Amino acid sequence: MADSVDKDLNTLPLAGLHAELGAKFVPFAGWSMPVQYGDGVMAEHLWTRQKAGLFDVSHMGQVRLPKTALAALEGLIPADLIGLPEGRQRYGVFTNDTGGVLDDLMIAHRAGDVLLVVNAARHAHDLAHLSAHVAGVEPVGDRALLALQGPMAQAVLAPLVAGVAEMRFMDVAVCTWQGGALWISRSGYTGEDGFEISVPVDHAQAFARALLADARVAPIGLGARDSLRLEAGLPLYGQEMDETISPIEAGQAWSIGRARRAGGDRAGGFPGAGVILDQLSHGAPRRRVGLCPEGRAPMRAGVPLFADAQGGAPVGVITSGGFGPSVGAPIAIGLIDAATPAQAPIFGELRGKRLLARQVPLPFVPPGYKR
């Protein structure tokens, strides 16, 4: 039997469908979210890697801006947004004056506007931040957001929605399904090919059921979403990045556009530019690292990291960790002192014992995006 929904939390538009499908609900970022269904997190994770998983991510904030807002938005984000072509989407981060990250988000340049998708826990903060600097901020409150992820996602969606097979990774489009406008991007948070689809609330249940009617699609919860993004080496706000962690330290230097870097056409001009551009040129004090702990015990967020098996001060901390179902072993992401040699062993302290972990490149699983 599905768990009851906590009445003090925000409820997803499709909460009833999730309960019907046997979801177990947990609180997350102020929302009651399906964490898993009957087969469990491991099975859901592997299904998504092999077929197509349907995630309800309607807790994420959707915000519309006028097309004229791209220049003002660039003043808050170190990405190249003025150079973002229509029909394309770009990842970016809101930064603060000390070079930390206020949130990470997706920015889509569409034919009629600019669409942002922000993290649920930072939605209210982001709206206030945007409204203080950008004109025409419009929260979207009448749409659900679904993510169809996995190597079979295109084969599932294409018969329902014309034109999606031609989309490339990070393309965006507005399509029609049964009279409703679908806002689609070819992107996601699993490392697999797939689509994120904003659906009018009054079409959401029928559209979700149409996807689930395909035997290649299964409903997937928050638990597998986290293990999938961990294997893909993707950051989670509040863990890999926050107001004290710069995008360079978080391994997101690639998100800083060439035009915004030293010597670029529009160098700097965003909060914390002095700190961030200095770190980009001369190195940051900390760096993100992938870790493979020895044995079967996962090292989870908050585990202190050391350079030595005994003694010495911590050199870092685990920011995310757990079991990687596709890897078949524990995996973790950590933030460590940049001076720590790349080949050096790392030790995580669990229950008073230091256990060895190898530094490895990220991601743990090769991406399956359509280029």
Three-state secondary structure string covering 248-264:
CCCCCHHHCCHHHCCCC
**The pLDDT of residue 181:** 98
* Cα dihedral 113, 195, 160, 32 in deg (nearest 10): -90
pLDDT at 4: 47
What topology does CATH give the domain 285-371? Elongation Factor Tu (Ef-tu); domain 3 (2.40.30)
> Nearest Cα to 308, choosing from 351, 341, 286?
341
Residues 6+ apart with CB under 8 A from 213: none
- Judged against a pLDDT cut of 70, whether residue 300 lies above it is answered with yes
pLDDT tens-digit map of 123-150: 999 999 999 999 999 999 999 999 999 9
Note whether 199 and 146 are within 8 A (CB).
Answer: yes
Return the closest-CA partner of residue 67 out of 107, 110, 131, 129.
110
Residue of higher predicted confidence among 371 and 280 = 280
Q: What is the pLDDT of residue 1?
A: 32
Q: Decide whether 10-56+141-231 matches 285-371 in CATH topology.
A: no
* Spatial distance between the Cα atoms of 18 and 222, rounded to a whole number of angstroms: 12
Cis preceding-peptide flag for 345 (omega within 30 of 0):
no
- Residues 308-357 pLDDT 10s: 999 999 999 999 999 999 999 999 999 999 999 999 999 999 999 999 99
- Joined together, the tokens standing for residue 309 give 């098996």
- Write down the pTM of the prediction: 0.96
Q: How far apart are CA 82 and CA 85, in angstroms?
A: 8
| Token digits of residue 40 | 């469990």
User: Which residue type sits at 90?
Assistant: R
* pLDDT tens column, 85-117: 999 999 999 999 999 999 999 999 999 999 999
Length of the chain: 371
Query: Is residue 205 a contact partner of residue 17, using CB atoms and an 8 Å limit?
Result: yes
- Write the CB contacts of 157 (distance below 8 Å, at least 6 apart in sequence): 148, 164, 195, 211
DSSP 164: G
Architecture of domain 10-56+141-231: 2-Layer Sandwich (3.30)
Residue 204, helix vs strand vs coil: helix
Predicted local distance difference test score (pLDDT) of residue 149: 98
Q: What is the pLDDT of residues 214-262, one digit of tens each?
A: 999 999 999 999 999 999 999 999 999 999 999 999 999 999 999 999 9
- 8 Å CB contact between 130 and 123: no
Q: Which two tokens stand for residue 172?
A: 């965006």
Q: Does position 185 have pLDDT exceeding 90, yes or no?
A: yes
SS3 letters across 298-320 = CCCCCCEEECCCCCCCCCEEEEE
Question: Is the model's pLDDT at 2 over the cut of 70?
Answer: no
Task: Compute the distance between CA of residue 310 and CA of residue 157 in angstroms, rounded to an integer.
Answer: 54
The predicted pLDDT at position 363 comes to: 98
Cβ-based neighbours of 251, under 8 Å, separated by 6 or more: 233, 235, 240, 287, 288, 362
pLDDT digits (tens, 9 = 90+) for 153-167: 999 999 999 999 999
pLDDT of residue 10: 97
Cβ–Cβ < 8 Å for 359, 343: yes
Residue 81: its H or E element: none
pLDDT band at 173 (very low <50, low <70, confident <90, very high): very high
pLDDT at 197 over 80: yes
Note whether 198 and 145 are within 8 A (CB). yes
Distance (Å, whole) CA 147 – CA 68: 28
Give the three-state DSSP class for 68.
Answer: helix
β-bridge mates for residue 198, sequence order: 145, 183
Q: What is the pLDDT of residue 6?
A: 62
> What are residue 107's DSSP bridge partners?
90, 116
Taken in order 231, 235, 237, 243, is the CA torsion positive or negative?
A: positive
How high is the pLDDT of residue 208?
99
What pLDDT was estimated at residue 371?
84
pLDDT at 8: 87
Of the chain, the end-to-end C-alpha distance in Å amounts to 42
Alpha helices in 251-321 (DSSP H): 273-282
Kindly list the domain boundaries of the chain, sorted by start residue: 10-56+141-231, 285-371
How large a percentage of the chain has pLDDT more than 90? 98
